[in-house]
Structure 1
Amino acid sequence: MEHRIDVSVIIPVYNCEPWLEAQLTSVLGQDGVEIEVIAVCDGATDRSLAILQAIAAQDRRVRVIAQENRGVSASRNVGLSLARGDWIVFADGDDWIKPGALRRWIAQGRDNDLDVVIGNGFAFDALPAPAQPSPMYEHQPWGEVCDGRTWMMRTIPDDDWAVCVWLQCMRREFIERFGLRFEEGVVHEDIIWTLQFAQHAQRMGFVKDPLYGYRRNPDSIINSPSDASLARRATGYLRVIDALVNAARTLREDRPFHKLLLRQVNREGGNYLHLLRKRLQSSELRRQFALTFINKGYVWVMLRGATNASEVWRALRCWRILSRLGRLPESKTH
C-alpha cells in the first residue's frame, strides 16, 4: 500500500546556496503533515545542487531533479508532473516557512472542502524572522468561503489580489482536473497562473496569520538592474496585460468582471510605465517597448478600465510619456 502524502512542496532552485539549508529545514520541520519535497535545481551555477543532494541523502522525503536552466515556470511544471501529495504548495529556495504553517493551511482546506487556500506572508531580510511580522495582505475575505470570481471582485479594487504563488495551497485533484500549468518563459507568470486558476475555483478559503516568509533578495530577477533582466520583465508585463485583455474579451457578457479585468490592466500599465521610466536604461529598448504598448492599443484599454480620476490620469500619463519615449532621436529623423 502506497504511503499517503498530504502535501507536495515544489521548490524551484537557482543559485540559492546561502539560504537553501535554512529553507529546507523550515519545510522538513513542518509538523502534523506528511510531506514530500520536490526540489528542481534549474541549472544552478553555485553549490545549490550539492546541498540538495546532501539533504536528500539524509531525508528520503526530498526528491531532487537537476535540469538545464529553463526558468521558474518550467521548474514548477516539472514539480507538478511528479507530485503525489493531496495538496500542492510552492516555495522559493531563499524563503522560510513558519512552524505549523502547512498543517494550518491544509486543515483549512480539508475542513471546508476547498479547492484553494490563500495564506498570508511577510517580508524579511535575514533570519531569525520577526516574531510579529507585518502581514502582506489585509483585505482578503478572512473567515469566508467564496469562488474565484468573487475573490477577485473583492480584492482587486483594494489592490490586495494575492498573486504570490507561494501563498497558494491547492488541492492537486483541482489542478489536474483543469490541466493547470505555468506559462513558461514569462516573468510575472504568477499573475497569469492566478488569473487562470481563479476562473475555475469554486471554493476558496483564507488563513489570515502571516506564516510564509518572503526574503527580500537583492539578487533576484525582480531586483536585477541589468537591461536584459528588465527587458524580460517588460516583456512579462506585456504578456500579463495580453492575458487580462483576452480574459476580459472572453467574459464580456459578465460586465462587472469584464470591467474588473480591464481595471487590472490599468494597474499593470502603470507598473509597465514605471519600469520603462525609472529602471530601464537603454533608450532603444525604451523606445521599442513604448511603441509596442501604444501599437497594441493598451492605453485605450487602460482608459476603458479606469474607475476613478486617478486611474484616468494613469492612462493619460502612459499615453503622454510612452509617446515621448517612442519617438526616434532627432539625429535619426533626417
Structure 2
Amino acid sequence: MVSILWDISRACLYEKRGAIVPKVSVIIPCYNQEKYLETCLNSVLSQSLSDIEVLCVDDGSTDGTGDILAQYAARDDRLHLLSQKNKGASFCRNRAIDQARGEYLIFCDSDDIYPDTAIIERLYCAGVEHDAKAVAGSYSIFDETDNEVRYDFDGLLWGQSFKREGFVSFLDYQFDYGFTRFMFRSREIKNSGIRFAPYSRFEDPPFLVALLGYLEMFYAIPDVVYQARVGYKQVVWDSSAQVDLLKGLSDNLRYSRIHRLKNLHELTVRRIEEEYAGVFYWSLIDEMVFSAIVRANGEVSPELLSSSFQGRVVDGFLLLKPMEQQVANAQKWNKDIQDLHGAVLAERADKENAWERLKDAGRELAAVYDSTTWRIGSVFTAVPRWFRDFGRKV
C-alpha cells in the first residue's frame, strides 16, 4: 500500500512540474571519441524512457567529438553539453554529478552502448518499484579483436553478472568492477559526498566500493544492461598510469581492511598479483612506482587473507608478488654486479701481474745494456755490423 501511494505521489509530482525534474540523469565523459560517440549517443537517446537528461562533458577533445556533441545538443534538448580543459574522466563525472537533476543517476562511457532500448526504463522501474537506493544489472563486453560479445564471467570478474533478482547486501557482494551497470538515487550520491578520485586508471572501483558500502544494499536484476567496447586501443602503462593504478588498488585495500571485508581484500590482492602483475614487475626501478607498491603493500592485512597466503606471511607481514619480484630482481642484480666486480678485479689483477712482469723484464734488459759484457760485445761486433749495413745499401 505504501509503495502504491509512493508511486502515485511521485507521478503527481512529475505531472505538476511538467517533468522539470527528469527521472534519470545519464552522465557521459567524452574525450576524442568521434569514432564511437554517435553510436553511444544513439543508444542513450533512443531509450524507451524518454524523461531523461544526458550530461555530456567534453574533456578538451582535439578531434571531432565537440562538433558531434554540439550537433546532437542542437537536435535534442535533453542533451546538455559541458566543456572543460582536459582533466580526466573523474573530473568530468564529478562535475556532472553536482549538476545532475535526475531522480536517479547512471554513468555511461562514450565508446560503450546500452544493448537494447529498454535498459534505462528497466533499471528505473526496478528502483522505483522496490524503493531502492541503487539498482544494478549484468555486464557484457564487445571485443573488437574477434567481434564477439561476452556475457559469462568468472575468476576475478565473477561479480559482473547476477543470476537472481532481488536485494543484495554489499557485505555479501564485496565486488568492485562494473560501476556503469548501476543506477543510483541521485540524492544518495550527493549526500554521501563520495566522488571519483583524480586517477587516470582504476578510479571507478574505489568509487563503487565506497558508495555501495555507504548504501549497504542494492537491488539486482539478471538482465544485461550494459555493453563495454574493448580491444580497440592499447593502454600505455607509463609510470604515472602505474602510480594511479596502485593508488586505486590501495584505496580498495584500505577500505576493505578498515571495514573487515575479507573477500574484497583478498580480491584486491589477487588483482595486484594476477591481473596487473605484468604491469609492475619490470617497472619498479622507477622510484614513484616503487613507492606506490610499498604503500599498497602496507595496506595489506594478512589476517584478512585465506590460508593460501599464510605460507608467505613473515612476522605478520605479507610481501605482495610485485614486491617479491622486485626483491628477487634486486638480489639477481646484486649477484650480477658482484660477479662483474669480481671479474673486473680478476682482470685487473691479471693486468697488474702482467705489468709487474713487464717492468721486471725491462729492469733485466736495462741491466744487460749496462753490463761490461754487453759493451765489449758491442765493440767486437761493430765492424761486422758495418759491413752488413753497407752491403744492404749497395
TM-score by length of 2: 0.69
Q: Is 2:328 the partner of 1:324? A: yes
Q: Hey, what does 1:81 align to over in structure 2?
A: 98
Give the total of aligned pairs: 307
1:1-334 equivalent positions in 2, closer than 5 A: 1=17, 3-97=20-114, 98-125=116-143, 134-136=151-153, 137=159, 140=162, 142-152=164-174, 161-219=175-233, 223-224=234-235, 226-228=236-238, 231-251=239-259, 257-270=260-273, 271-277=275-281, 284-285=285-286, 289-290=289-290, 292-293=292-293, 295-296=294-295, 298=297, 301=300, 303-309=302-308, 317-325=321-329
Pick which of 8-17 and 172-181 moved more.
Answer: 172-181
Q: 1:36 to 1:326 in 2, by over 3 A?
A: farther
Residues 19 and 93 in structure 1, CA contact (< 8 A), matched pair in contact too: yes
Using the alignment, how far apart are the partners of 1:70 and 1:332 within structure 2? 43
Deviation at 1:174, TM superposition (A): 1.1
Deviation at 1:209, TM superposition (A): 1.7
Pick which of 105-114 and 135-144 moved more.
Answer: 135-144
Q: Unaligned 5+ residue runs, structure 2?
A: 1-16, 154-158, 313-317, 342-394
The 3-state SS of whatever aligns with 2:232 is coil
Using the alignment, how far apart are the partners of 2:303 and 2:296 within structure 1? 11
Using the alignment, how far apart are the partners of 1:275 and 1:26 within structure 2? 34
Please give the per-residue CA displacement for 1:108-137, whole angstroms capped at 9, x wherever unaligned.
1111111111211211146xx87x852455
The 3-state SS of whatever aligns with 1:301 is coil
Q: 1:209 to 1:60 in 2, by over 3 A?
A: same
Residues 266 and 311 in structure 1, CA contact (< 8 A), matched pair in contact too: no
The 3-state SS of whatever aligns with 1:182 is coil
- Across the aligned residues of Structure 1 and Structure 2, the Cα RMSD in angstroms comes to 3.0
Using the alignment, how far apart are the partners of 1:177 and 1:184 within structure 2? 20
Using the alignment, how far apart are the partners of 1:53 and 1:172 within structure 2? 26
Residues 11 and 92 in structure 1, CA contact (< 8 A), matched pair in contact too: yes
Matched to 1:34, the amino acid is D
Please give the per-residue CA displacement for 1:67-89, whole angstroms capped at 9, x wherever unaligned.
11000000001110111111111
Deviation at 1:36, TM superposition (A): 0.6
Using the alignment, how far apart are the partners of 2:301 and 2:326 within structure 1? 13
Using the alignment, how far apart are the partners of 1:90 and 1:80 within structure 2? 10
Please give the per-residue CA displacement for 1:253-302, whole angstroms capped at 9, x wherever unaligned.
xxxx343343134223213422123xx6x5743x7534642x43717826
Using the alignment, how far apart are the partners of 2:330 and 2:298 within structure 1? 14
Pick which of 139-148 and 10-19 moved more.
Answer: 139-148
Q: Unaligned 5+ residue runs, structure 1?
A: 153-160, 252-256
Matched to 1:174, the amino acid is E
Deviation at 1:304, TM superposition (A): 3.8
Using the alignment, how far apart are the partners of 2:206 and 2:244 within structure 1? 10
Matched to 1:235, the amino acid is V
Deviation at 1:235, TM superposition (A): 1.3
The 3-state SS of whatever aligns with 2:166 is coil
Matched to 1:301, the amino acid is V
Using the alignment, how far apart are the partners of 2:84 and 2:38 within structure 1? 20
Please give the per-residue CA displacement for 1:30-50, whole angstroms capped at 9, x wherever unaligned.
003411100001011110000
Question: Greater RCO between the two (CA within 8 Å, min separation 6)?
Answer: 1
Using the alignment, how far apart are the partners of 1:84 and 1:307 within structure 2? 44
Q: 1:24 to 1:311 in 2, by over 3 A?
A: farther
Using the alignment, how far apart are the partners of 1:56 and 1:199 within structure 2? 36
Q: 1:310 to 1:212 in 2, by over 3 A?
A: same
Matched to 2:113, the amino acid is W
Structure with a larger share of its residues in helix: 2
Please give the per-residue CA displacement for 1:84-114, whole angstroms capped at 9, x wherever unaligned.
1111110010111121111111111111111
The 3-state SS of whatever aligns with 2:215 is coil
The 3-state SS of whatever aligns with 2:177 is coil
Using the alignment, how far apart are the partners of 1:247 and 1:14 within structure 2? 30
Q: 1:18 to 1:300 in 2, by over 3 A?
A: closer
The 3-state SS of whatever aligns with 1:104 is helix
Instruction: Quote the sequence identity (%).
Output: 23
Using the alignment, how far apart are the partners of 2:189 and 2:163 within structure 1? 22
The 3-state SS of whatever aligns with 2:111 is coil
